[in-house]
Every structure is written in C-alpha cells, then in structure tokens.
Amino acid sequence: MEFGHIRRTEHLPARIADQIGRDITEGRMRPGEKLPTEHFLAKALGVSRSVVREAIAQLRNEGLVETRQGVGAFVTEPQARTIRIEQDDLANRQSFRDLFQLRVPLEIEAAGLAALHHTASDLARIDEALASMNGAQKWTAEGIVADLAFHRSVAAGTGNEYFSVFIGFIAERISLAINAARATAVLEEIVEVTIEEHAVVRDAIASRDPQRAREAMKMHLLGAARRLDLTLETY
C-alpha cells in the first residue's frame, strides 16, 4: 500500500477515501488491519489532518472501516460493509438529483432534532465548523471540509447515531455539488450566501426552536439545489 500526494484541485476527502477504499476492496488492506494514523496519512498525502479525518469518516459511513476510541481505524469484514455509491454514478444528473432529494428530508428533520437535543459540545462543534467556513479564503478545499463538518455536527446534535451515519454518507457523496456551484456562479456570491444560510441554521438550533431550525435547513438545501439548477419536489 502506497500513498502519494493528492492534487489540490481535487475534492480532497472524497479522493482520499476513494484511494483507501480501493486498497480495501482490492485486497491490499485486509479485514482487521489498522489504518495508518491521521498524522502519517496527512504527511504522506500532503493534506491537513482535518481532510484525512473527513475521509476516514466517509469510509466509516460506507462501512469499510470501524473506528475505536483512542485506538484508531480498522478495516471491517466484507459482510459488515454497507452499500456504496460510486462518485461516477452521480455523473448521471437524474441519479445526482435523486440522491439530493433524499438528503432534504433527512437534514430538515436532523436540524429540528438538533434544536431539541444538542449539547453544549455539539453547538461548539457547529460553531467551530461555521468559523472555519468564514475563514476559508474563496472557499478552498478546507472550506468544503468545513461545510461537511457543519452538517455532520448538526446530525450529531440529534443524539441519534443513525442520522450521523446516513447524513454523513449522503453528504459525502454529493459534496461535489459545492464544486459544481462554484462553476456556475460568482464564487464570492456563492460563499457569502452559503455561509449566511448556515448561520441561520446555527442560530435556530442554538435557540432550541425546532420549527425554525427545520425551516432554516429547508431554505438552505433548496437554495443549494437552485444554485445547482436542480428541481426538487417539496412539501
């Protein structure tokens, strides 16, 4: 198993997850084998540890690895692995739209539940992700990672592990939507609007108002769909 630097123009967490995922599915990493540490992978791949962390989270959501607190990540047995959606499958616009449509009700409900159940540490993680988004110059790869971290943190705030698993999996697979939006509109406008929408979601969750949080998340996701020129069924 060898690791080489990932080009900065690529969507880093997804590309790293795909690279490690191929090593697993093609047998170069065996069930039960421990992944290299975040520090080692970050240095070998030439990326930050936060990018590696997101990649490992994607692998976990796909069932390819399991993480053990304080020990590390390990390759799972094949029978324990969940369904995979290859990024190439989403080159089909209808497939991409259908997956985005699935994301909407899950994330709306997650926002409502997070407003009811989040802890102080959950809110701190949401705030940390939002701050990273604000600090990402012209929405670099780090900004995309922060965007995904925001949605993961909202899901974690539900107190329901299954929201984290399913939302994390879907958000990872459609994260290239962010790059697509950057290609179809003025970047500064996209960044400003997107951060503002996330801030509204954050404030609604912090206020413990589930109805307001659901509406804020719905407006954000429908806004993202419009920026991608996607027509979704709403309710």
Q: Check residue 181 and give its pLDDT.
A: 47
Given a cut of 60, whether residue 6 has pLDDT beyond it is no
| Phi (first) and psi of residue 228, to 5 degrees | -95, 5
List C-alpha distances in Å: 184 to 85, 138, 144, 161, 224.
25, 15, 16, 35, 12
Given a cut of 60, whether residue 10 has pLDDT beyond it is no
Given a cut of 90, whether residue 218 has pLDDT beyond it is yes
Reported as a single tens digit per residue, the pLDDT across 108-149 is 999 999 999 999 999 999 999 999 888 765 556 667 778 888
Alpha-carbon span 176 to 144, nearest angstrom:
9
Q: Is 127 exposed, middle or buried (0-12, 13-18, 19+ CB in 10 A)?
A: middle
Mean pLDDT, range 21-28, rounded to an integer: 89
Q: Cite the DSSP H helix spans in 118-186.
A: 120-135, 141-156, 161-173, 176-184
DSSP 34: B
CA atoms 213, 171, 234, 162: torsion sign: negative
